[in-house]
Structure 1
Amino acid sequence: MDLPFWIYFVVAGIMTSAYMVIKTGREDRRVEEEIIEREGQIYMERLEKKRSEKKEMEHG
């Protein structure tokens, strides 16, 4: 089965493209998780601050 040489380039391009999609998807997910984690940490710090302020107001 003799295939034209350009078919090999097309297949290589498809494989490269698939690899890049997977790689980029992983990086995007990692960055998203970091952002979500930071936002969660900021939220928890705000909650803790409000709790401590509320305690101080209750105790005088």
Structure 2
Amino acid sequence: MIFGVPWWVFMMVLFIFLSGYMAFRAMRAERELEEKYIEQQGKVYMDRIEEERQKRMQQERDQQVSH
């Protein structure tokens, strides 16, 4: 007994805090993965927009030259 409380009570409190810390770490890591995925998908989207813009500009140039 420590301060009139059984030792296993202290261990349970310690495990509760440890569990909370591990859950917090897992949530933070998951959020970072989601942000990286979102950034990657955003880059793919922006690349497609840029490719489409380039195609349109090339088509407009081709039409101006043929007239």
Shorter-chain TM band: over 0.9
The equivalent residue for 1:59 is: 61
Normalised to the residue count of structure 1, the TM-score between the two structures is: 0.94
* Pairing of 1:14-53 with structure 2 (within 5 A): 14-53=16-55
Larger radius of gyration between Structure 1 and Structure 2: 2
1:8 positional shift: 0.9
* CA root-mean-square deviation: 0.8
Deviation per CA, 1:8-39: give whole Å up to 9, x if none: 11101101001001111111111110000000
- Point out where structure 1 has 5 or more consecutive residues left out of the alignment: none
How many residues are aligned here?
60
In structure 1, C-alpha distance between the alignment counterparts of 2:54 and 2:7, rounded to whole Å: 71
State the 4+ residue runs in structure 1 displaced beyond 4 angstroms. Answer: none
In structure 1, C-alpha distance between the alignment counterparts of 2:32 and 2:4, rounded to whole Å: 43
The correspondence for 1:10, drawn from 9, 12, 21, is: 12
- Point out where structure 2 has 5 or more consecutive residues left out of the alignment: 63-67
In structure 2, C-alpha distance between the alignment counterparts of 1:54 and 1:13, rounded to whole Å: 61
Identify the structure with bigger relative contact order (alpha carbons < 8 Å, sequence gap 6+).
Answer: 2
